[in-house]
């Protein structure tokens, strides 16, 4: 069994998609008309250093992922996947690949999403590595860090937390005493946490204006770590903004469905490295047991 996976924010680099903009001029022109600027110039040159800003990052990654998908399905040896999955923003490319939305609908949604998330502020995020989720949650409870949420569960020993900046800064030394490596993330808000409640409500109103078709291929939801159902796609896309990304649980679900091949389609190979880390940690835990 095979799954195609699509990366999200954090996979962007200047120069991404360089070989694809010439290959799919109609899609690129459509993107420019929707966005009101040259997506090619943003991705290849980024002359105004906008690629690091969420409202530009998200459309750029969505478009480059979509172009990679077009090239991928045109390869003569490509076999249709049995499942699709994306990390946060990448879920929109998975929904595109499943026929739930078309390219323009997805880009319009991502544009709105990036603008809403880009205006959010007052929060912080940090990666906690080298300790398990259980230790992370126990540490938060023991030290009364009640404003901090778990935002991403990426691997057995890679968790992202989100909350108020002062609380995140106070928590990092505590995690380091537990043996963790901590990395503050360069973000302006606490994405995938309760701090995004108002953003999720605003985005839910936008989602009401769009239509979603039933998936032709099962798409795994970041929120439930199970396949999307047609009737709840709109709700889960709104919830995703304030809910933790259950990447590890999603990978586990696919493995239980006998998926043994994961193909990353898009900008970079962030998810491929993450999968290798999951499997490496599995082997280590198996030996320790």
Tell me the backbone φ, ψ of residue 133, rounded to 5 degrees.
-60, -40
Tokens at 155, concatenated: 């691997």
Could you please report the per-residue DSSP string of 166-177? HHHHHHHHHHHH
Cross-strand partners of 261: 2
Determine the 3-state secondary structure of 208 from DSSP.
coil
Q: 204 catalytic, yes or no? A: no
Q: 11 catalytic, yes or no? A: no
C-alpha distances in angstroms, 63 versus 92, 101, 191, 200? 10, 14, 21, 23
Catalytic residue among 11, 88, 193, 238: 88
Cross-strand partners of 245: 152
Cα separation, 88 vs 227, in Å, equals 15
The contacts of residue 48 (CB under 8 Å, 6+ apart) are none
Cross-strand partners of 129: 158, 181
Catalytic residue among 192, 193, 228, 243: 192
Catalytic amino acids?
A: 88, 192
């Amino acid at each position: 069994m095979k799954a195609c996976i699509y990366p999200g924010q954090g996979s962007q680099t200047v120069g991404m998609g360089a070989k694809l903009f010439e290959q799919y001029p109609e899609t690129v022109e459509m993107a420019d008309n929707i966005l009101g600027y040259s997506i090619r110039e943003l991705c290849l040159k980024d002359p105004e250093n906008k690629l690091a800003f969420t409202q530009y990052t998200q459309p750029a990654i969505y478009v480059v992922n979509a172009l990679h998908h077009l090239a991928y399905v045109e390869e003569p040896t490509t076999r249709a996947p049995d499942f699709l999955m994306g990390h946060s923003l990448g879920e929109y490319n998975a929904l595109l690949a499943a026929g739930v939305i078309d390219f323009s609908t997805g880009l319009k949604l991502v544009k709105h999403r990036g603008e809403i998330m880009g205006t959010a502020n007052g929060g912080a995020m940090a990666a906690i590595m080298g300790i398990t989720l259980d230790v992370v949650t126990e540490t938060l409870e023991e030290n009364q860090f009640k404003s901090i949420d778990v935002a991403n569960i990426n691997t057995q020993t890679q968790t992202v937390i989100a909350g108020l900046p002062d609380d995140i800064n106070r928590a990092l030394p505590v995690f380091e005493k537990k043996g963790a490596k901590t990395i503050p993330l360069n973000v302006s808000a606490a994405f995938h946490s309760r701090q995004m409640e108002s953003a999720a409500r605003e985005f839910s109103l936008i989602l009401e204006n769009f239509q979603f078709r039933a998936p032709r291929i099962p798409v795994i939801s970041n929120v439930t770590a199970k396949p999307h159902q047609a009737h709840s796609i709109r709700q889960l896309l709104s919830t995703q903004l304030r809910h933790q990304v259950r990447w590890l649980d999603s990978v586990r679900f696919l493995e239980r469905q006998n998926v043994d091949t994961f193909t990353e389609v898009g900008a970079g190979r962030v998810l491929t490295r993450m999968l290798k880390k999951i499997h490496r940690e599995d082997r280590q835990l198996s030996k320790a047991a």
